[in-house]
Amino acid sequence: MKIAIIGCGNMGMAFARAFLKFDLVRKEDFLMVEKSADRMDSLNSFQPGVITGIIGPQVGEYDLIILSVKPQDFISVSQALREVVKPNQVVLSIMAGVTIQIIQDALDHKAVIRAMPNTPAMLGMGITAYSASPEVDINQLRKVENLINATGRSVFLEDEEQLNAVTALSGSGPAYFFYVVKAMIEAGKQMGFEESVAALLVKQTMLGSFHLINTADKSLDELIKAVASKGGTTEAALREFEAGKLDDTLKQGIIAAQKRSSELSKG
């Protein structure tokens, strides 16, 4: 496929690097559209393909247009894109909170896929959920799915509204983990560790715990119980977490993120 990426920030570049790494797109079939002068400098050093600062007629020559701009910038971008997008093209949006209907109306274009990746996509370890308008045929959908899978894993959702929950759960999810890791490191520092030592202990614990979740033939409750012996140190910590309603606070925070995503989707 010939691909144009509009907006070359972290996620746009994550997609570009993944596609090139796995030889899914040739450099000469790549168009990168970026208005930021600083990012243009980075693009010129990376040289992923054709680089431009404007949305011009050449955008209409590509099979897939990936919208990777900030949601608040979409209105201005859509005005230029509407003039050049062609009916046979597919538009893939990775903008949070901007619905398929909003994109279709703004561009006067029907074939739209809306996806929600997360930042581990920059390492090829992301998870992306996506939905599509009925005008996207199965062959187009499969091609786009193959591209998305270069950044990690993907899941197709028939109900687009579920993408608001995806935004809250996995889209924002890395920040929740970073928040917990930061708190654990701070606790380590309070107990007398140098920050580097505390960080090593916590990060390796998180990494090992992930692999246990992924490979152990046990439920999360069973894994917790295996660590928390009766009357021991882990039980003391968990008792404090329960007293502070940590689980409820986390769930309420995630639901608040879902609510905000729904609000953004309604404009």
- Quickly list H helices, 74-154: 74-81, 100-107, 138-149
**Backbone angle region of 231, left / alpha / beta, with phi > 0 → left and psi within -120 to 50 → alpha:** left
**Which pair of tokens denotes residue 168?**
């809250």
> Is 44 assigned to a binding site?
no
**Which pair of tokens denotes residue 13?**
């570049």
Rounded to the nearest 5°, which phi and psi values hold at 20?
-75, -40
> Is 7 assigned to a binding site?
yes
* Half-sphere exposure of residue 42: CA atoms within 13 angstroms, side-chain side: 15
> Is 10 assigned to a binding site?
yes
Rg (CA), the chain: 22
Strands 152-156 and 126-132: parallel
Q: What is the C-alpha separation between 227 and 207, in angstroms, rounded?
A: 16
For residue 263, give the H/E element and its range: helix 246-265
> Is 9 assigned to a binding site?
yes
**Backbone angle region of 6, left / alpha / beta, with phi > 0 → left and psi within -120 to 50 → alpha:** beta
Q: Please give the DSSP secondary-structure letter assigned to residue 28.
A: G
Rounded to the nearest 5°, which phi and psi values hold at 125?
-125, 30
Give CA separation, 248 vs 219, 235, 243, 251, in Å: 20, 18, 11, 5
Binding-site residue numbers for NADP(+) are: 6-11
Binding-site residue numbers are: 6-11
